[in-house]
Amino acid sequence: MTTIHDFVADLRAAQPAIDHVLDQHMADHEIFLPHVFMADVTRSLCATGPTPAGRAVIDVIADHFQRGDAGVRDVVLASFLENLEADEPSQRAIVEALPPALADARERTEGHPPRGTLR
């Protein structure tokens, strides 16, 4: 199982621009707040879109959502997936780029059955 520390390290390794997001987060808050940081990453990702760099971030999020401890999974659910609105143009492309595990989890948070199941 991965921890929030592992998650942040892998985000930074996948996309060096995350360093700027983390630096700004620490300047604004003085301590690391995982949910707020994930919201910061979400805003940055939505601004970037599903470019190769953006997809690298999405892949790290998906990997840690599947392998992460309860804290990592909660951060991804509450501060990434629940913040994505498919009807918001800057977020729609990210929603459409989600791999199946994240897309299914997002659907469940919206109160819908996972993709591919009968309604």
Spatial CB neighbours of 18, under 8 Å, sequence gap ≥ 6: 11, 12, 41, 44, 57
Amino acid at 33: L
For the cut 90, the answer to whether the pLDDT of residue 111 exceeds it is no
Token duo for residue 103: 């897309």
pTM for this prediction: 0.90
Find tokens 């109160």 and name the residue: 111
In terms of pLDDT, which residue wins out, 27 or 116? 27
